[in-house]
């Protein structure tokens, strides 16, 4: 009669011992590193996304990687104005919906990109101005946002509205010409159209804290917050040259976050994808509590808009590149600590970390020999076969022979062709001078980060 309770007590003691040992064991057991980018980012409450193209959803090599690795999707072109409203007040969501359905069926969230932009406007919009354009612009926001109401995590309400001319001011565009208040009116309209989605301003070349353009956007966001204009987030496109990000990018992210907005890296690609450069960008985001996630602008190098620059995390055969491993390791090193407080306003806590060695500034992929200016420059110093890319600063004389080619340029302070400034031109345009065969005197001004020029 007295033995039984003793045995029970012993058993209990033993069980307790096992439990204590188990708990102790668990406490010291290392947490298994995540094996995909999305899962690794989720450990600190962040996402890792990719730009997805509807035209590639039939490619199983592409969708296998995308479905495995990412947990956020940005449609690369399918939610832009020319796609969603090809004719005035006739909306088309076929491409956007295809991507939305693919993403959500794989458990991913979607970032809408973009409601208003000076590029990729449908022809009818390009020819509007004044109050007709202003009301068409608001009708576009309402039409597109109504369709996706309650479905998206973020909307890039306005894309690339600031100039690269070093003034810190607005870019000249038909939208800007409707009045300087076009951006705040757009954000107010967007908030009313769908109060559930986070509303973002998105731009490139705003990563360097010392750049006038960065300061211009910062002051706009500060002003919006002070006056109650609804803005929730700022996207930093982060199209970098091989030198990677400006060394003060983390400062920029922290300073914007301190205004009371989320920040995100929205279109990341880095020429030649150096592993260290990718790790640096990842760590800059991880160090800022309100940096909610990172998105790469494409899956494989063969999917990138930056033809021939191999700027992404997977090669054309779908193999993981060294940059992939660098990003995954950085995300895993951030560990399972929930550092994100997306609703907090005020100073951003930053983690202390060992500084990562800086990367050299962008090296030109070729050294152009100076040509001479004028519409018939000579001697011809560059034989260019499209597609052709050039990163760096300098001048050269180019004879264009068989164009179909057009100019694609971005992330630069200035590029001139025969004296015509073509900064930040993405899309072929019939009126564009380099659409014509002939001789072109190309001049670059290296930006704080890099310059880039290509033909297609
Ligand atoms: C690019 C797409 O990747 C290309 O397919 C398209 O031809 C042009 O636009 N900034 C942006 C993105 O906000 O929408 C751009 O995407 C790249 C630069």
- pLDDT for 32 equals 80
Q: How many CA atoms lie within 13 A of 74 on its CB side?
A: 30
- pLDDT for 455 equals 55
Active site positions, annotated: 160, 267
The answer, yes or no, to whether any atom of ligand 1 lies below 6 A from the CB of 267, is yes
The answer, yes or no, to whether any atom of ligand 1 lies below 6 A from the CB of 77, is yes
pLDDT (average), residues 69-73: 98
- pLDDT for 420 equals 59
CA distances from 167 to 130, 203, 211, 213 (A): 24, 16, 9, 7
- pLDDT for 3 equals 39
The atom of ligand 1 lying closest to the CA of 80 is 14
Per 3-state DSSP, the chain is made up of helix, strand and coil in percentages (nearest 5) of 35, 20, 45
pLDDT (average), residues 261-279: 98
Pick from 150, 147, 73: nearest CA to 113: 73
The answer, yes or no, to whether any atom of ligand 1 lies below 6 A from the CB of 71, is no
Residue 29 confidence class, pLDDT cut points 50, 70, 90: low
Q: Which residues contact 121 (CB under 8 A, 6 or more apart)?
A: 81, 82, 174
Q: In what order do the strands lie in the sheet with 414-417?
A: 394-400, 438-445, 414-417, 420-421
State pLDDT tens for residues 104-114.
999 999 999 99
Q: Which residue has the tokens 């806590």?
A: 349
Mutational test site, ligand 1, from 53, 236, 426, max ligand atoms within 8 Å of CB: 426
Q: Which residues contact 393 (CB under 8 A, 6 or more apart)?
A: 364, 444, 445, 446, 451
Sequential DSSP letters for 38-92: HHHHHTTT-EEEEEE-GGGTT-HHHHHHHHHH-SEEEESSTTSHHHH-SBTTB--
Mutational test site, ligand 1, from 96, 202, 295, 305, max ligand atoms within 8 Å of CB: 305
Please check the confidence at residue 456 and state whether its pLDDT lies above 60. no
Residue nearest (by alpha carbon) to ligand 1 atom 3? 305
Burial code (b: 16+ CB inside 10 Å, e: under 16) for 106-142 equals eebbbbbbbbbbbbebbeebeebeeeebbebbbebbb
Per DSSP bridges, beta strands 420-421 and 388-391 are unpaired
Please check the confidence at residue 86 and state whether its pLDDT lies above 60. yes
Distance, CA of 8 to CA of 1 (rounded, Å): 12
**High-pLDDT (> 70) share of the chain, %:** 66
- pLDDT for 304 equals 95
Whether the ω angle into residue 137 lies within 30 degrees of 0, i.e. cis, is: no
Pick from 371, 419, 417, 411: nearest CA to 391: 411
The atom of ligand 1 lying closest to the CA of 298 is 3
The answer, yes or no, to whether any atom of ligand 1 lies below 6 A from the CB of 159, is yes
Distance, CA of 150 to CA of 94 (rounded, Å): 18
Residue nearest (by alpha carbon) to ligand 1 atom 12? 76
Using DSSP's 3-state secondary structure scheme, residue 320 falls into strand
> Is the Cα torsion angle 159, 163, 166, 169 positive or negative in sign?
negative
H or E element, residue 28 = helix 3-28
pLDDT (average), residues 19-25: 42
Q: Which residues contact 305 (CB under 8 A, 6 or more apart)?
A: 76, 297, 298, 408
Pick from 378, 291, 385: nearest CA to 331: 291
- pLDDT for 453 equals 57
Reading the block at residue 204, the tokens are 């490139």
DSSP letter assigned to residue 435: G
Please check the confidence at residue 22 and state whether its pLDDT lies above 80. no
The answer, yes or no, to whether any atom of ligand 1 lies below 6 A from the CB of 409, is no
Least confident span in 126-140, 308-322, 395-409, 442-456: 442-456
What are the phi and psi torsion angles at 154 (to 5°)? -140, 155
Rounded to the nearest integer, the mean pLDDT of the chain is 81
State pLDDT tens for residues 337-347.
544 444 444 44
The answer, yes or no, to whether any atom of ligand 1 lies below 6 A from the CB of 424, is no
The atom of ligand 1 lying closest to the CA of 305 is 3
The answer, yes or no, to whether any atom of ligand 1 lies below 6 A from the CB of 450, is no
The atom of ligand 1 lying closest to the CA of 426 is 8
DSSP letter assigned to residue 32: P
Residue nearest (by alpha carbon) to ligand 1 atom 15? 76
Sequential DSSP letters for 124-163: HHHT--HHHHHHHHHHHHHHHHHHTTTT-SEEEEEE--B-
State pLDDT tens for residues 226-251.
999 999 999 999 999 999 999 999 99
The answer, yes or no, to whether any atom of ligand 1 lies below 6 A from the CB of 76, is yes
The atom of ligand 1 lying closest to the CA of 239 is 18
């Amino acid at each position: 009669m007295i033995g039984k309770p003793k045995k029970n007590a012993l058993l209990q003691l033993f069980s307790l011992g096992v439990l204590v040992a188990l708990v102790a064991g668990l406490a010291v057991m290392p947490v298994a590193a995540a094996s995909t980018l999305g899962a690794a980012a989720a450990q600190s409450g962040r996402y890792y996304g990719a730009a997805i193209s509807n035209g590639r959803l039939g490619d199983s090599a592409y969708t296998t990687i995308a479905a495995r690795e990412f947990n956020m999707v940005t449609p690369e072109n399918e939610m832009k104005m020319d796609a969603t409203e090809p004719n005035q007040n006739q909306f088309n969501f076929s491409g956007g919906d295809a991507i939305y359905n693919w993403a959500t069926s794989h458990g991913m969230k979607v970032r809408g990109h973009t409601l208003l932009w000076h590029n990729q406007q449908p022809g009818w919009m390009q020819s509007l101005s004044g109050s007709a354009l202003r009301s068409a612009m608001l009708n576009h926001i309402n039409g597109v946002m109504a369709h996706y109401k309650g479905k998206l995590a973020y909307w890039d309400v306005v894309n690339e509205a600031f100039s690269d001319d070093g003034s810190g001011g607005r870019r000249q565009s038909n939208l800007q010409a409707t009045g300087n208040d076009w951006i705040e009116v757009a954000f107010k309209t967007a908030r009313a159209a769908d109060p559930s989605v986070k509303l973002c301003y998105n731009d490139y070349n705003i990563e360097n804290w010392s750049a006038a353009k960065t300061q211009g956007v910062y002051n706009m966001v500060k002003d919006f917050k002070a006056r109650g204009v609804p803005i929730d987030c700022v996207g930093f496109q982060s199209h970098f040259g091989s030198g990677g990000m400006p060394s003060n990018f983390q400062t920029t992210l922290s300073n914007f976050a301190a205004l009371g907005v989320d920040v995100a890296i929205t279109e990341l690609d880095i020429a030649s994808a150096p592993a260290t450069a990718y790790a640096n960008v990842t760590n800059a985001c991880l160090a800022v509590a309100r940096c909610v996630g990172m998105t790469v602008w494409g899956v494989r190098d063969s999917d990138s808009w930056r033809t021939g620059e191999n700027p992404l995390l997977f090669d054309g055969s779908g193999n993981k590149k060294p940059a992939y491993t660098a990003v995954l390791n950085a995300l895993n090193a951030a560990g399972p600590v929930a550092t994100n407080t997306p609703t907090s306003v005020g100073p951003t806590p930053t983690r202390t970390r060992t500084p990562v060695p800086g990367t050299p500034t962008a090296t030109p992929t070729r050294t152009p020999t100076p040509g001479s200016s004028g519409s018939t420059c000579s001697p011809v110093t560059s034989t260019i076969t499209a597609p052709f890319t050039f990163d760096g600063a300098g001048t050269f004389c180019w004879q264009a022979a068989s164009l179909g080619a057009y100019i694609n340029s971005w992330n630069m302070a200035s590029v001139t062709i025969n004296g015509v400034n073509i900064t930040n031109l993405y899309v072929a345009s019939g009126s564009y001078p380099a659409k014509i065969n002939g001789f072109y005197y190309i001049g670059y001004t290296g930006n704080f980060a890099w310059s880039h020029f290509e033909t297609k």
